[in-house]
Structure 1
Amino acid sequence: MRLLIVNPNTSAGVTRRIADAAAAVARPGDRFTTRPAAFGPELIVTAEDGAEAARGVIETIRRAGETPDGIILASFGDTGAEEVRKAWPDIPVIGIAEAAFAAARRIGGPFSIVTFAPEVAPPLREKAIQHGAGDALLRVAALEDPLQGDPADVAETLFAPLAALCATCARDGARSIVLGGGPLAGLASRIAPECPVPVIDGTQEAIAQLRARVAGTPADPTTRRYPA
């Protein structure tokens, strides 16, 4: 399966994290190409950031060359999804928020979103509502301090408090946890042993769901990676 994975942020470090998360679930014969937006913000926070990033995403896809089997938009704003689907209507497109919330719905019951900074929490809640998962959302749990430094460092420097926050959400009744934000790509597998409920990685979910779509089979996270 040939996938083009576009990080709508321009952070090289976050793009590497996304590429590593994708590689961790690759199968023999898969070819995943991961690229940042051609231009735009290093981290998308505001609507203005998102609009500029969407233009950068379109330019990245235009420069890609060959036609992939699918396109993944690896930000939790699903940034550029509408524009990409309009420009390339014959290519399956999925955003990592869309994929993650679909997984949470299939697992069933209430879920929480865990993220790394308070400024990104409100857009995550809005995205859950947009994707029809708002009624099941218990809370968006964010670390208290605003983001400082390179977003690519978040997963390493804040691993312990993020893992603790996931465990707290599980104790409060969440049946699954969505890790919110491209900088957290690849972190779910590390947190999972410390959390009693499934921890969902949007990038890896998007790959699984595109794989199922290309193969013409239903995606089922409850049997694929998430134990009952």
Structure 2
Amino acid sequence: MRALTLASARGPVPVVGIGEAALLEAAASGRSFGIATTTPLLAGSIVERVAALGLSDRFTGLRLTEGDPEALSADPESLRESLARAVEECVVRDGARAVVIGGGPLGEAADSLRARFETPVIAPIPAACRRLARLLAATPGTP
């Protein structure tokens, strides 16, 4: 059983996964979405998660940055530019109407990319915060 499922079952306080929240937000209202990320080793598990959430029919695909993920992480400007190319491929080549930046540590790059694209670029941590706020607002007895 997934850790998120176990944590959710333990109490009345909502538990939110950052990846799941970003995927659900991207796919809201039937919108097609893609994912841009730096980590090829996670590609399979990301695609599996999309399927597990029942979102495969809206998923346009996953685009990876070019170059070594560790080297990109050490150079914020190169990371942003490489992610921007991956986001553009999601939108232009794949037809995505929203793009998730796959990976919590990529949040700063996602923030800077939001201004460069008309298509929504979704960072996982803020998406999780928005989802948690909505769930808490809908949960009786929470402040």
TM-score by length of structure 1 reads 0.54
Could you tell me how far 1:184 is from its partner in structure 2?
1.1
More helix by share: 2
RMSD: 2.4
1:193 and 2:115 are equivalent in the alignment:
yes
Q: By how many angstroms is 1:157 displaced?
A: 4.1
2:36–2:102 contact (8 Å) kept in structure 1: yes
Deviations 1:121-156 (A, max 9, x none): 1111111111111111111101243433695x4755
Q: Which has the higher strand share?
A: 1
- Give unmatched runs, 5+ long, in structure 1: 1-50, 52-78, 218-228
Q: 1:84 maps to which residue?
A: 7
Give unmatched runs, 5+ long, in structure 2. Answer: none
CA distance 1:155–1:207, shift in 2 (3 Å): farther
Output the CA distance in 1 between the equivalents of 2:76 and 2:52: 26
2:137 aligned partner, one-letter code? A
Equivalent of 2:88 in 158, 163, 167: 167
Q: Are the counterparts in 2 of residues 176 and 198 from structure 1 also a CA contact under 8 Å? A: yes
Contact 2:22–2:128 (CA under 8 A) maintained in structure 1 = yes
Please give the secondary structure, in 1, of the residue aligned with 2:62: strand
Deviation of 1:193 after TM superposition, in Å, equals 1.8
Identity of aligned residues (%): 29
Whole-angstrom CA distance in 2 between matches of 1:164 and 1:107: 26
Q: CA deviation at 1:114?
A: 0.3
Partner of residue 117 from structure 1, selected from 32, 39, 53:
39
Q: Which residue is equivalent to 2:106?
A: 184
TM superposition outliers: structure 1 runs of 4+ over 3 Å:
153-157
User: TM-score, length-normalised on structure 2?
Assistant: 0.83
